[in-house]
Amino acid sequence: MSSLPLLSHATPERIIAWRAGCPVTLRQFMAEVRQLAARFPAGGHLLNMCGDRYRFSVGLAAAILTGKVSLLPSTHTPGVVRQIKVFAPDVFCLTDSDSCTVDLPQSRYPAMAAVDRDDAFSIPEIDVAQRIAVVFTSGSTGTPQPHVKTWGGLVRSVQAEASCLGLLPNSPCIIVGTVPAQHMYGFESTVLMAWSNGYAFCSDQPFYPADICKALAAVPAPRVLVSSPAHLRTLLDAELELPEVSLVVSATAPLSIRIAQDIEALCRAPLMEIYGSTETGLIATRRPTQTAEWQLLSGIKLAVKGEGVQACGGHVETWTTLNDVIEPVAEGKFLLHGRIADLVNIAGKRHSLASLNHLLNTIPGVVDGAFYMPDDTDHDRIARLAACVVAPGLDAARLLTALREHIDPVFLPRPLLFVDALPRNGTGKLPREALQALVKAQSARASG
């Protein structure tokens, strides 16, 4: 059996995390992981809802030590939680919040006992084939599709990531993330990248621009800011003074060149973008102020298969279809030309349009309905979906409540337009142009 260590830090006194301005050593982290592992319920799967990145990380490590699989759905609506329970009936929820409403057996993150410096210390070796996490995509029929992540694949992926970002192994950098650890990007780039390259991460998930500045200021340099276009744009607009940052990382959606340039000017540091997906994890990086071309991580190859492009190699163990329009341009390089028509990406959350339409049409009282994704008009504004619905007996509030049961709020239609009929053609298909015309006409009527 081949194995890799849980953590790659050089000594027990190295720092793995910063909480409220205080460092946490590897020794303390491992002691708390073992305390939590000893208290875990018997179930083989957990939904790790801890909002504090440090606690999430302790929960993940304790799960790995006890052979439990962490489930990472894209959202936690009641409908999705029910589907998670069908997928893994023994699942329990690890939470650090008093107001967690997830309808699963809950295990409260405990207060930790003090750590004795003389305790035995060791870093566990983990089998590369061990199943660490299952991440879910929306699927096309409304049922989330599972994707298994193994220890070997995850470690290879985040070690290649650090190398592409120009970060040296075991350098003392501290990752401050504005993205949640429960999302594939935050999972890899804020938690696992720190674990497997010997870095530290900040336990906060700062939200407002002033919070981001404060979280950065609370940790020493060199700082790495792992963020998304939505946060970076508001950070720019807030015109605040930022502490020194060595590197800014952005993912979830392409950043406009103007914002990339302004962020580099504000931070006086390079901005690197990451491209990846739930299915593959991250597979490429680029520095948008220098090139439009994406550089694949070492070992990953692309192949044009039918209408799509697939990736394989490195940590991507089987040929996997990429859900974007990709043009390979040279060995290891490609250009990105937007998303495939069925897939919507709002603030880094992806959903299949077919699946959204399926969910809409299963709501009692909906006779016919379709979601519509407007063309990208303003690159830096987050676009919202529209929906046209034939539902004579329903009002908007009831329909939205029913949808909210199943889909993340970012996908809720805005506007939601009630119509007499959808412009379906003779074969029952709904041409995008016809739907677009209907949305325009109805929106104009509503606002006029």
Partner 1 sequence: MQDNHKPAAASTAALQLEVAELMIECLNLEITADQIAPDAPLYGDGLGLDSIDVLEVALVVSKHYGLKLRADSADNQHTFNSLRSLSDFIAEQRTR
Q: Is 22 in the site for partner 1 (CB under 8 A)?
A: no
Strand pairing partners for 92? 46
Q: Is 446 in the site for partner 1 (CB under 8 A)?
A: yes
Minimum distance, C-beta of residue 246 to partner 1, in the bound complex (Å): 24
Q: Is 217 in the site for partner 1 (CB under 8 A)?
A: no
Q: Which helix (H) or strand (E) holds 433?
A: helix 432-447
Residue ranges in 327-356 that form contacts with partner 1 under rule CB under 8 A: 346-347
Of 29-37, 82-90, 299-307, 409-417: span binding partner 1 (CB under 8 A):
409-417
Q: Is 415 in the site for partner 1 (CB under 8 A)?
A: yes
3-state class (DSSP) for residue 259: helix
Q: Is 383 in the site for partner 1 (CB under 8 A)?
A: no
Neighbours of 175 (CB within 10 A): 26
Minimum distance, C-beta of residue 191 to partner 1, in the bound complex (Å): 20
x/- contact string, 426-445, with partner 1 (CB under 8 A)? -----------------x--
- The residues, any chain, with a CB within 8 Å of residue 402's CB and separated by 6 or more, are 363, 364
- Give 304: exposed, middle or buried? Use CB within 10 Å, 0-12, 13-18, 19+: exposed
Q: Is 23 in the site for partner 1 (CB under 8 A)?
A: no
Residue 311 tokens read as 């990736």
Neighbours of 434 (CB within 10 A): 14
Of 162-170, 226-234, 244-252, 286-294: span binding partner 1 (CB under 8 A):
226-234
Q: Is 210 in the site for partner 1 (CB under 8 A)?
A: yes
Site for partner 1 (CB under 8 A): which residue of 9, 55, 223, 231?
Answer: 231
List the end-to-end C-alpha distance of the chain, in Å, as a whole number.
68
Query: How is residue 405 annotated by DSSP?
Result: T
Strand pairing partners for 346? 349
Q: How far apart are CA 119 and CA 241, in angstroms?
A: 43
Q: Is 77 in the site for partner 1 (CB under 8 A)?
A: no
Of residues 94, 51, 45, 81, the one with CA closest to residue 66? 45
Nearer to partner 1, 268 or 414 (CB): 414
Q: Is 206 in the site for partner 1 (CB under 8 A)?
A: yes
Minimum distance, C-beta of residue 206 to partner 1, in the bound complex (Å): 7
User: Helices 229-237 and 209-217 meet at what angle, rounded to 10?
Assistant: 90
Q: Is 358 in the site for partner 1 (CB under 8 A)?
A: no
Mode of pairing for the β-strands spanning 343-346 and 349-352: antiparallel
Q: Is 419 in the site for partner 1 (CB under 8 A)?
A: no
Point out which residues bind partner 1 (CB under 8 A).
Answer: 206-211, 214, 230-231, 234, 237-238, 346-347, 382, 397, 400-401, 404, 409-410, 412, 414-415, 443, 446-447
